[in-house]
Amino acid sequence: MSLYGTMRTGVSGMNAQANRLSTVADNIANANTTGYKKASTQFSSLILPSTGGAYNSGGVTTDVRYSISSQGTFTYTTSATDLAINGGGFFIVQGADGVEYLTRAGAFTPMDDGTLRNTAGFTLMGYPYSSTQDPTIVVNGFNGLTPINLQSASLTASGSTSGALDVNLPSNEAVGYTKSTSLVTYDSQGNERLLNFEYEKTADNAWTVTVSYTDDATPPVTTVLNGPTAMTFDADGKLLTPNPASLTTAAMTINGANLASLDITIGGTTQLASDFKVSNGKIDGNGPSEVIGYQISDDGVVSLKYKNGDLEPKFRIALANVQSPDKLKPLAGNVYTQSNESGVIVMGYAGNSGYGAILSGALEDSNVDIAEELTAMIESQRNYTANSKVFQTGSELMETLVNLKR
């Protein structure tokens, strides 16, 4: 047996326990860090060959592992931009260096430029929202991603393009009877434009409807946008013509703004022995309205909330995952990058293909168990002391050996 080998074995044991204490210290320090995944130290023996009946002491080596795939509990907050993932997947964030990383730390805050950044300064990434199709999923790449930006003009407006107006026309009125109603529409600048619909009975089961717009000039000028259009009804008072049951108005320019051509459906119009009544009147578009908040759905769609109650989808949060999350490479700021052992990064969306749901107004807690860490600390302390005793004993034996020459 080599006395030097005994001392080196003691040093190896002390280094191993020091590594374990380092992971314990990191875990305890980050017990309240959002989305933090605990580290643990695994030990492996180093055995040296023994010859001639002499035992050669080896040592111990350590390997640090991360419980990245272990989900923490959730803490609920009052901020809609605090995000957590209930299930698999990672948020994709971009650092100041322009490089994309993975993280579970979702404490995002709107910045003055409209982007969402977490406490470590990483910017949340996603795709521009499309109501018709999802962006192409990219394997092992972040092409097409853009910073999610909640900044918008303080006011937004959308011009009208379609709507519906269904009325009941009184069948018991005489020929020549007229009745009018109006529908508010919006031009390209969000101005309200009042369209007038005038109905006139021309014969039994026959009416006309004329759509017009009257400006506020002096004297007022009325422009006919559609009609008169003939409407006929069957013996049960149901609309026969026009077919299809819709009115298409002419486009016009009003004080520099465009009032688009409108497709107004009238399929629910009836002719019954009852008073004139509007049963359905609606139009798309909206006037100027301020952004007052945000809403993020569980499938990651980020919508702006306007004062008039409208929600406008703007972005969709992208998620990413790898085949072996515990093998990702951790970096400062509670982020991860792909490693040789983790597998390639695969993109996806919340709620699809094994990805978890996004919780708005929630944060994922650290998965550190303080009691477990304190227990590990005591074990490491005792083991470190024991290994130091091995080193001390070897040192004393070496001193005895040296003193034999005296």
3-state DSSP assignment of residue 397: helix
3-state secondary structure 139-199: ECCCCCCEECECCCCCEEEECCCEEEEEEEEECCCCCCCEEEEEEEEECCCCCEEEEEEEE
Task: Give the length of the chain.
Answer: 406
Cα 406 from chain centroid (whole Å): 78
- What is the residue-averaged pLDDT of the chain? 89
Cβ–Cβ < 8 Å for 285, 158: yes
Burial class (CB in 10 A: 0-12, 13-18, 19+), 143: exposed
Is pLDDT at 388 greater than 90 in this prediction? no
Q: CA 22, CA 13: separation in Å to the nearest integer?
A: 14
Report the C-alpha gap between 329 and 298 in whole angstroms.
28
Three-state secondary-structure class, residue 221: coil
Residue that wins the pLDDT comparison between 4 and 101: 101
Higher local confidence (pLDDT), 74 or 58: 74
CB atoms < 10 A from the CB of 403, how many? 8
On whether the CB atoms of residues 350 and 90 are closer than 8 A, the answer is no
pLDDT (0 to 100) of residue 87: 92
pLDDT tens, position by position, 166-190: 999 999 999 999 999 999 999 999 9
Sign, CA torsion 13/14/18/24: positive
Residue span(s) of the chain under CATH 2.60.98.20 come to 160-284
Write down the pLDDT at residue 53: 65
Helix axes of 3-29 and 370-403: crossing angle, nearest 10 degrees: 160
What pLDDT is recorded for position 1? Answer: 54
Residue 134 has pLDDT above 70, yes or no: no
Burial class (CB in 10 A: 0-12, 13-18, 19+), 379: middle
In the predicted structure, residue 49 carries a pLDDT above the cut 90: no
According to the model, what pLDDT value does residue 136 have? 60
Q: Determine contact, residues 194/249, Cβ cutoff 8 Å.
A: no
Mean pLDDT of 377-398: 86
pLDDT at 374: 94
> What's the rounded Cα separation, in Å, for the pair 257 and 189?
6
Contacts of 189 (CB under 8 A, 6+ apart): 157, 159, 256, 257
Averaged over 2-10, what is the pLDDT? 77
Between residues 404 and 119, the one the model is more confident about = 119
Q: How many CB atoms lie within 10 A of CB 176?
A: 8
Peptide bond preceding 219 in cis form (omega within 30 of 0): yes
Band (pLDDT 50/70/90 cuts) for residue 140 is low
Asked if 182 and 194 count as a contact pair (C-beta separation under 8 A), the reply is yes
- Enter the DSSP assignment of 249: P
DSSP annotation of 355 reads: B
CA distance 189 to 169: 34
**227-236, long-range: CB < 8 A, 24+ apart:** 228/200, 230/202, 230/206, 231/206, 231/207, 231/266, 231/269, 232/205, 232/206, 232/207, 233/169, 233/171, 233/205, 233/206, 233/207, 233/270, 233/271, 234/205, 235/205
Q: Could you please state the CATH topology (level 3) that the domain comprising 160-284 is classified under.
A: Tick-borne Encephalitis virus Glycoprotein; domain 1 (2.60.98)
Q: How far lies 121's CA from each of 30, 102, 103, 277, in Å?
A: 17, 13, 12, 58
Average pLDDT over residues 32-45: 90
Q: Which residue has the higher pLDDT, 45 or 257?
A: 257
Which tokens sit at 280?
């359905």
- Residue 180 neighbours by CB distance under 10 Å: 13
Q: Residues 275-333: pLDDT tens digits?
A: 999 999 999 988 887 778 888 999 899 988 887 777 888 899 999 999 999 999 999 99
Give the pLDDT band of residue 5 (cuts 50, 70, 90).
confident
